[in-house]
Structure 1
Amino acid sequence: MTPTCCITQEHKLDPSTLSTDPNTQTQTHMHKILSAMQLLWLFEGLGFKGVLLIIFVFLLIADYLKNRKPSGYPPGPFPLPFVGNIFSMDAEEPHIYLTKLAEVYGNIFGLRLGRDNIVFLNGYKIIREALVVQGENFVDRPYSPTVARVYAGNRGLFFSNGQTWKKQRRFTVSTLRHFGQGKKTLELAICEECRNLMEEMEGQKGEAFDPTHLNSAVSNIICQMVFGHRFDYSDDTFQRMLHYLSQIVHLEGSIWHQLYEAFPSIMKHLPGRHNDIFSSYRHVTGFLKEELKRHKENFDPADPRDYIDAFLVEITERTHDPDDGFDEANVVLNSLDLFMAGTETTTITLRWALLYLMKYPHIQEKVHAEIDRVIGQSRAPSMDDRPNMPYTDAVIHEVQRLGNIVPLNGLRMAAKDTALGGYFIPKGAAVMPILTSVLYDKSEWETPDEFNPGHFLDSEGKFRRRDAFLPFSAGKRICSGEQLARMELFLFTVSLFQKFRFSALEGEELSLKGIVASGRIPYPFKILTHTRYQ
């Protein structure tokens, strides 16, 4: 049925005849009203389905124009309108899916995940080119809906950019060094924590158990540096915080988090596990705010005891530009980053160490033999022993390599238009280095898919460094706690294997597959401890 009314050509208003004088705006308003009437009559003629079709076509065109790729942009699989490639991703093993895409599209390729277009980098050479050679161009982080909600501005150590990031990173590295990183005092604190951990393990009296106390022991090291004290393993508040940290790590690698990042305006109104991410963050930041409150109650600027005190000195005693980030909100978020990074990654690595050496008992026996030869049983290990223990050092490095704790590096953002690997990367583009592709690079490792400590040993059995060993990332954003993590991994590993031989339950098959969250975590397993010497 045709409309009962129509506007003939002679009755249409010509916009060019309208006066631009302010006193003649009545004509302009009349023109707008008539234009709106034209649309209404058109929609009436099309019917409801026709209107929906027009709206859908309009949205398709708008989506295409918004996400149109510039000339020279990296190739990739065809994205669906509105959602892109997000439902093609393997939520359980995204790093494997991405490395397989590199076999099809090359070492630089693009994906669209919801609203975001991301360029993925694969392989040691291209990742080194981006993070080291062009490090200044790829130092900033792109916008993240999760970060915007949790960190509320340009805050924290991991997600901040520009002047704030530079000032906070420099201050943090200097402060951690002052409070022990790389020093003998911290080494003694780690050894003391090792003794506490071994006492807990001995308390299991030969029963199989999940090595959850690794989490408590490792976290206590960063707690002593940031808070100035450790926690008892039975402390309920401490254990709740560790639980919330683990939950964040698990959920930020889940499909729920991917959906929130892709469609934040929709997901924030929907129920689901993504909401648990933010509630967990609230619990942990509440815990940190209480620590800050206690520090302020007995704060002595002349005698800072830890990281929080040192930060309070910067706030109260020194003058800073507001963009430097020295305020109470930021000390909480910096502490959050240190608490998370200083707990989860090292704990996960130690769990992989136990798992691999239980899986390969002949390697565990070689570690025992080297410990006995270099240290014996009469004293605790020290970092001075490390140069004399190349095999154990190689085993720890191979655990980090094959364990692949952080399969996907943090997102970067191009500061300017640039060329990378023959492709055009536009200013503002999000870039994701796939660290899995470096640690498993077939052109860099002799047996990339096997647990082989020989990757880090030369022909004479001496330890050798490998350029493609990048578990801590590379360039300007390299992990600021790398030195601490290396010290912890060596001292905890040697202490535990000096005291115990570890094995699985008889008949139990240990899985080396792992669960990919924001880190790659071993499937839950139980261990049996056997005291090597009484």
Structure 2
Amino acid sequence: MDLTWFVSLLLALIISWFIYSTWDSIYRRRNLPPGPTPLPIVGNVLQIKRGEMVKSLMELREKYGSIYTVYFGHRPIVVLCGYDNIKGTLIDRAEEFSGRGMQPAIDQYMNGHGIVFSNGSRWRDQRRFSLTALRNFGMGKKSIEERIQEEASFVIDEIKTQKEQFIDPTRFLVQAVANVICSVVFGNRFEYSNDSFQNLLTMFGAVFRDMSSVCGQEKDNPNFDRENMKMTVLNLFFAGTETVSSTLRHGLLILMRYPEIQAKLHEEIDRVIGENRFPNTDDRSNMPYMNAVLHEIQRYSDVLPLNVPHTTTKDVHFKGYTIPKGTDVYPLLCTVHQDPTKLDCPTKFDPNNFLDDKGCFKKNDCYMPFSAGKRMCVGEGLAKMELFIFLTMILQNFRLSPEKQLTDEDIQPLMAGVANMPKFYRVKFIPRV
């Protein structure tokens, strides 16, 4: 019996070694970037800690460099780190890296529809249509700016009803940002107490039933069917609501941690805008400190550290490696936002990253919150308008006070799934006038 057990164990070890060495040999012959040797069937999945995708990929970067390969099952994933690699792919070779990579948890629901998760002619048609529709609805024009100003004024009124109590700002910031999208999609906003609006925030599916009239844009084009329209609108709500509201929440938290930065913003707002009119986007060019703070909030909060997966549209030769057509690529935006070649102290919040010696705003390559290249976020212009007007109007009217003394650890982003979120906090809004 013991001998039989020993022979079975030995045979199992020999078979396992043979399978592993064969897999390893096949893997090594491919000219993909280096990386950990994958196990049969599961690949490198066991090396990715549950709920710590970013941390796990960053640890592998330390061992294998700024471009490496991991396997999720039998599929290779090329991971890109740092500004130079991401610029060299998404920007310099944008077309070759313009495909959308696989995301099983999302793909089973989206099924390749909409603007964010589609590919080929469907993606090109949806992107072109979305950009045209957003421009027609007023993106980049006074009309959409006035809608944002109006919504920001409702936020101010909502804050005043709280009577200087410590509150969690999440609810009304999400509602305000979602209302901007509602005004674009539906042509009007909702009262915050509206039951339908509350259902909309939790079940975006309620939006889709009202979109049938738009589906006749191009009735003969199969890419403009009801399913694509529903998913494109869902993309607008999800991307346009969660990312902007999360960034604003993080911004308020950061400004409570650094009251000296908040005070400098108050001074600039008072000097450029005063207290009797709404801020507008033309003011931004005269407010270099606010501009720098907003850029630094987006860099530091790093809402989508993993970006959204790309895939190659043809065989690509990059830095001596061969990346076959259809290979998924993960450009880690967090490694751009924390690139030590672009920043003196990547882990510290510092608006000086976007200011020159004279206090004028300067661009910095470490800023890439909207991704880059052909898959760059179509709502970038709208998001920037919202962030500037919302934050400026809040600071125009209030001073932010924390419930407790905050530390640098308190303001560090908290990884939740594939996104970074601000840690829970409560804030007191103290009227300035």
TM-score normalized by structure 1? 0.75
Counterpart mapping for 1:407-446 below 5 A: 407-446=305-344
Asked if residue 514 in structure 1 is aligned to residue 413 in structure 2, the reply is: yes
Q: State the number of aligned residues.
A: 426
CA distance in 2, matches of 1:65, 1:106: 20
| CA positional deviation for 1:466 | 1.8
Superposed structure 1 runs of 4+ greater than 4 Å apart: 56-63, 507-510
| CA positional deviation for 1:201 | 0.9
Of 5, 22, 27 in structure 2, the residue corresponding to residue 68 of structure 1 is 27
Q: Which amino acid in 2 is paired with 1:477?
A: R
Q: Is contact 2:24-2:37 (8 Å) kept?
A: no
Q: Is contact 1:418-1:426 (8 Å) kept?
A: yes
Q: Is contact 1:345-1:519 (8 Å) kept?
A: no
Q: Which amino acid in 2 is paired with 1:511?
A: D
The corresponding residue for 2:175 is: 216
SS of alignment partner, residue 511 of structure 1: helix
The corresponding residue for 1:165 is: 123
Counterpart mapping for 1:139-158 below 5 A: 139-152=98-111, 154-158=112-116
CA distance in 2, matches of 1:58, 1:231: 63
Asked if residue 104 in structure 1 is aligned to residue 40 in structure 2, the reply is: no
Asked if residue 363 in structure 1 is aligned to residue 294 in structure 2, the reply is: no
CA distance in 2, matches of 1:454, 1:496: 22
| CA positional deviation for 1:427 | 1.8
Of 108, 127, 130 in structure 1, the residue corresponding to residue 89 of structure 2 is 130
| CA positional deviation for 1:67 | 7.4
Once structures 1 and 2 are overlaid, which stretch shifts more, 80-89 or 438-447?
A: 80-89
Instruction: Quickly say closer, same or farther: Cα 1:109–1:58, change in 2 above 3 A.
Output: closer
Q: Is contact 1:408-1:436 (8 Å) kept?
A: yes
> How far does the alpha carbon of each residue in 1:376-397 deviate from its partner, in whole angstroms, 9 at most, with x for none?
1111111111111000110000
The corresponding residue for 1:288 is: 207
Q: Which amino acid in 1 is paired with 2:37?
A: F
Instruction: Quickly say closer, same or farther: Cα 1:111–1:352, change in 2 above 3 A.
Output: same
CA distance in 1, matches of 2:385, 2:294: 11
Give aligned-pair identity as a percent. 40
Instruction: Quickly say closer, same or farther: Cα 1:88–1:71, change in 2 above 3 A.
Output: closer
Instruction: Quickly say closer, same or farther: Cα 1:327–1:58, change in 2 above 3 A.
Output: farther
Q: Is contact 2:338-2:366 (8 Å) kept?
A: no
| CA positional deviation for 1:172 | 0.5
CA distance in 2, matches of 1:139, 1:173: 17
Of 158, 183, 186 in structure 1, the residue corresponding to residue 141 of structure 2 is 183
Asked if residue 468 in structure 1 is aligned to residue 366 in structure 2, the reply is: yes
Q: Is contact 1:358-1:504 (8 Å) kept?
A: yes
Instruction: Quickly say closer, same or farther: Cα 1:63–1:161, change in 2 above 3 A.
Output: farther
Q: Which amino acid in 2 is paired with 1:164?
A: R
The corresponding residue for 1:12 is: none
Q: Is contact 1:500-1:532 (8 Å) kept?
A: yes
> How far does the alpha carbon of each residue in 1:307-339 deviate from its partner, in whole angstroms, 9 at most, with x for none?
xx5x3340xxx45332xx111121111111011
| CA positional deviation for 1:112 | 1.6
The corresponding residue for 2:78 is: 119
Aligned Cα RMSD in Å?
2.7
CA distance in 2, matches of 1:424, 1:169: 29
Q: Is contact 1:92-1:515 (8 Å) kept?
A: no
Of 373, 395, 406 in structure 1, the residue corresponding to residue 271 of structure 2 is 373
Q: Which amino acid in 2 is paired with 1:207?
A: Q
Asked if residue 205 in structure 1 is aligned to residue 163 in structure 2, the reply is: yes
Of 509, 523, 532 in structure 1, the residue corresponding to residue 423 of structure 2 is 523
CA distance in 2, matches of 1:180, 1:459: 37
Instruction: Quickly say closer, same or farther: Cα 1:496–1:64, change in 2 above 3 A.
Output: same
Q: Which amino acid in 2 is paired with 1:385?
A: D
CA distance in 1, matches of 2:142, 2:99: 34
| CA positional deviation for 1:422 | 2.2
CA distance in 1, matches of 2:146, 2:383: 15
> How far does the alpha carbon of each residue in 1:442-489 deviate from its partner, in whole angstroms, 9 at most, with x for none?
011222221111111111111111233111110000000000001001
| CA positional deviation for 1:367 | 0.3
Q: Is contact 2:103-2:309 (8 Å) kept?
A: no
The corresponding residue for 2:387 is: 489
| CA positional deviation for 1:104 | 1.8
Instruction: Quickly say closer, same or farther: Cα 1:389–1:348, change in 2 above 3 A.
Output: same
Q: Which amino acid in 2 is paired with 1:456?
A: F
CA distance in 2, matches of 1:312, 1:184: 27
Unaligned runs of 5+ in 1: 2-45, 245-282, 297-308
Unaligned runs of 5+ in 2: none
Q: Which amino acid in 1 is paired with 2:56?
A: Y
| CA positional deviation for 1:288 | 2.4
CA distance in 2, matches of 1:474, 1:221: 24
Q: Is contact 1:73-1:423 (8 Å) kept?
A: yes
| CA positional deviation for 1:371 | 0.3
CA distance in 1, matches of 2:418, 2:103: 15
> How far does the alpha carbon of each residue in 1:343-391 deviate from its partner, in whole angstroms, 9 at most, with x for none?
0110111011101100101000000000011111111111111111000
TM-score normalized by structure 2? 0.91
| CA positional deviation for 1:228 | 2.1
Q: Which amino acid in 2 is paired with 1:186?
A: I
Instruction: Quickly say closer, same or farther: Cα 1:388–1:162, change in 2 above 3 A.
Output: same
CA distance in 1, matches of 2:25, 2:324: 14
Instruction: Quickly say closer, same or farther: Cα 1:164–1:62, change in 2 above 3 A.
Output: farther
CA distance in 1, matches of 2:86, 2:281: 31
SS of alignment partner, residue 400 of structure 1: helix
CA distance in 2, matches of 1:429, 1:437: 21
Q: Is contact 1:410-1:432 (8 Å) kept?
A: yes
CA distance in 2, matches of 1:110, 1:74: 6
| CA positional deviation for 1:291 | 2.7
SS of alignment partner, residue 210 of structure 2: helix
Instruction: Quickly say closer, same or farther: Cα 1:414–1:499, change in 2 above 3 A.
Output: same
Q: Which amino acid in 2 is paired with 1:523?
A: K
Q: Which amino acid in 2 is paired with 1:512?
A: I
CA distance in 2, matches of 1:467, 1:67: 38
Q: Is contact 1:241-1:284 (8 Å) kept?
A: yes
Of 215, 226, 241 in structure 2, the residue corresponding to residue 343 of structure 1 is 241
SS of alignment partner, residue 432 of structure 1: strand
